[in-house]
Structure 1
Amino acid sequence: MKKYLLITAIALSPFTGHTSNIIKNDKIEEQNNCFTSIFENYDSWRGFLENKYKKRIKSEEKRLKKLSWFDSSFGEEKFNYYKNNLSCSTFKYFVDGNAVEGFVIKPKTSTEKLPILIYNRGGNGNYGGVVFGSMMHNLFPIANEGFIIVGSQYRGTFNKMAVNSDEFGGDDVHDVTALLDYVADIEGADTQRIGMYGASRGGMQTHLAMKKVTGIKAIATIAGNSDLLKGLEYRPKMENVYKKRIPDYEKNKISELEKRSVLSWVDELSPNIPILLLHGENDKRVSVKHSIHLAAALTEHKIPHKLVIYPDDDHGLRKNRESANKELVTWFKTNL
């Protein structure tokens, strides 16, 4: 099923639509409603994919199998529910001279101000970019529980004309922290209740961002990496990403990886900001040892935290997605 989700994600990016200014700030440009263009309704989205599959896949059986998976994973009823209950926009903002793509999701109706979650995506470059399918799968369920979610695609993603590219935890961390400049401009946002969470590489981004900002009351990571150097023993192929993304990597390998590894500076973490760690026991991309070792260090330094390991689950927590979402929602509702 994993390969089908990847194919679907590629087919959905990028999405465009009509203006929907969720963020009331003149520095934010090109705010576009997520639920327009091919995502205006479920049939147009499904039809777009069906036509794409017809061009690429000769076997009718395989095409039908993919469409069946698509319907079971998303579905018209779920699509319509989120369209009716959530506002969603993509937007462009500027950081260090870079035009960066972002997104914001919020419930349409609320009688009170809502807490804000800064979400940090995984992957690198365009790979892992947050597209409509991944929003609906991973973010809409959280926002629907009463949160405003704001996130960055990171510099260079979906932008061939970018001045600078993703440095995998380098200056691109500014793209995360810059989002805090705009949360007060979201109607109904409670700037006294801000949390941050990230998946995979986004866990690293979360810890790095926390070194630069104040006002975040709780954080969480999903399959986060905590020790990039040690992680090369678990997954040597990640060095290809580091060589491509991290400036001067060959000259400064150890120091650059330590900069990006929270275990190297866990003693600098605040004892007043609780941390939730979620991880699949059979994660082949980011070993569960990253979260286990970090939890041990947090205990040693008396930093409040909760570690949840899902037996027999993978990097995306596919078998326990609903349980993981409940953990996130409970964590942030309790701690914000």
Structure 2
Amino acid sequence: MNKYLLIISLAISSFSTQASNLINDERVTDQKSCFTWIFTDYASWRNGMEKKFKRKIKSEEKLNQALTQFDSRFGKERFDFYQSNLSCSTFNYSVDGNTVKGYVIKPKVSKGKLPVLIYNRGGNGNFGGVVFGSMMHNLFPIANEGFVIIGSQYRGTFTKNSSAHDEFGGSDVNDVTALLDYIPSIEGADSQRVGMYGASRGGMQTFLALKKAKNVKAVATIAGNSDLLKGLEYRPAMEKVYKHRIPEYESKKIEELEKRSVLKWVTDLPPNVPILLLHGTNDKRVSVNHSIDLAAALSKNNIHHKLVLYPDDNHGLMQNKEKANKELVGWFRKYL
């Protein structure tokens, strides 16, 4: 009897795993719900963060402040709401022989097929990787408005494969465009209504991918960079990243930076894809001039766009997060 119970149990477990896959494609592997491990409930996540804080913070007062800030930014009520209303999975997929990590988020219930947004993260390597906290803060609110969101961590992120290297806008752009192949395999996703948006370095990825992709209907950037060479005048420290990430940087600096700078090839952009640019005027990481200069070039070339500047706000638009989200949602609802 125990033998049969075990077989039935394994069968149910196998069925449950298959049923929970958000992408029905055999090329996608290791699909796991985002709401696992310490993220099964808010208390577990908070306890995990408290242990992490304790390793760095010795003062009881400062520890309580950190936990209060954590609760303010996330909170049990918000966590429970998203867990009830959204499906979220991480997965692996292969690009150019590299195993790349990705994620997909979508509403659990919808009327008809939903438009899809490919999200391009900022940072480089593991820095800026999309962990659960950034999903909840940046992506869950957008998905909850009726969008399927799919994104790449880029090759070399959260892996031990030394040959998979984030080239900061080089071959890693293939990791973005490859996601288009999986959209038809997401139940409830409308592969004819695909948009793309990115934050910081993700803005660069968005425009580089847009040159290759043929079926992206609208794009947006948040604090995106448009001229990497000129950007070094605003933030010289970025050269350290470029030297580490970009192949042949020392011998082909100008050439490689211009390849990654949409301002140098605006005329290569599809003229019928509308572009939304969001930027804080007090951005210390990526100067607001990147978006201002790009908007001027888009106007010159008659490419439909909208520039929204947030006075005195920072790189993450922390003072205007809800307003920025409404701009994004409105933009993609209008054009997808």
Superposition TM-score, scaled by structure 2 size: 0.94
In structure 1, the partner of 2:241 is 241
**1:52 maps to what in 2?**
52
How far 1:317 sits from its partner (Å)? Answer: 0.2
Matching of residue 101 in structure 1 with residue 101 in structure 2? yes
Find the counterpart in structure 1 of residue 303 from structure 2. 303
CA distance in 2: counterparts of 1:220 and 1:162, whole angstroms: 32
Please list every run of 5 or more consecutive structure 1 residues that lacks an aligned counterpart in the other structure: 1-16
**How much does 1:49 deviate?**
1.1
Moved over 4 A (4+): none
Tell me if the contact between 2:211 and 2:270 (Cα under 8 Å) persists in the aligned partners.
no
Q: Determine helix, strand or coil for the equivalent of 1:117.
A: strand
Could you tell me the percent identity over the aligned residues?
69
**2:115 aligned partner:** 115
The equivalences for 1:27-38 within 5 A come to 27-38=27-38
- Structure 1, residues 35-90: CA drift from partner, whole Å, max 9, x if none? 11100000000011112222332100010000000000000000000000000000
What residue in structure 1 maps to residue 127 of structure 2?
127
Secondary structure of residue in 1 paired with 2:212: coil
1:147 aligns with: 147
Q: Secondary structure, in 3 states, of the residue corresponding to 1:160?
A: coil
User: 1:190 and 1:162, CA in 2 relative to 1: closer, same or farther beyond 3 A?
Assistant: farther
Q: SS where residue 211 of structure 1 aligns?
A: helix
Matched, 1:40 2:40: yes
Report if aligned partners of 1:18, 1:32 keep a CA contact under 8 Å in 2.
no
Aligned to 2:256: 256
Secondary structure of the residue aligned to 1:52 is helix
Matched letter for residue 164 of structure 1: A
Shift in Å, 1:164:
1.9
Paired residues of 2:223 and 2:291 also in contact (CA < 8 A):
yes
Distance 1:114 1:263 in 2: 32
Matched residues, number: 320
**Cα distance change, pair 18–49 in 1 and its aligned pair in 2 (3 A):** farther
CA distance in 1, matches of 2:279, 2:246: 25
Tell me the SS of whatever aligns to 1:92.
strand
Q: Does residue 66 of structure 1 match 2:66?
A: yes
Contact 1:19/1:30, CA 8 A, preserved across alignment: no
Distance 2:40 2:140 in 1: 16
The code of the aligned residue for 2:31 comes to: Q
Name stretches of at least 5 consecutive residues in structure 2 with no aligned partner.
1-16
Give the Cα–Cα distance (whole angstroms) in 1 for the partners of residues 202 and 57 of structure 2: 33
Separation of aligned partners in 2, 1:269 and 1:69 = 42
Distance 1:206 1:53 in 2: 34
Larger Rg, first or second structure (1 or 2): 2
Q: 1:26 to 1:162 in 2, by over 3 A?
A: farther
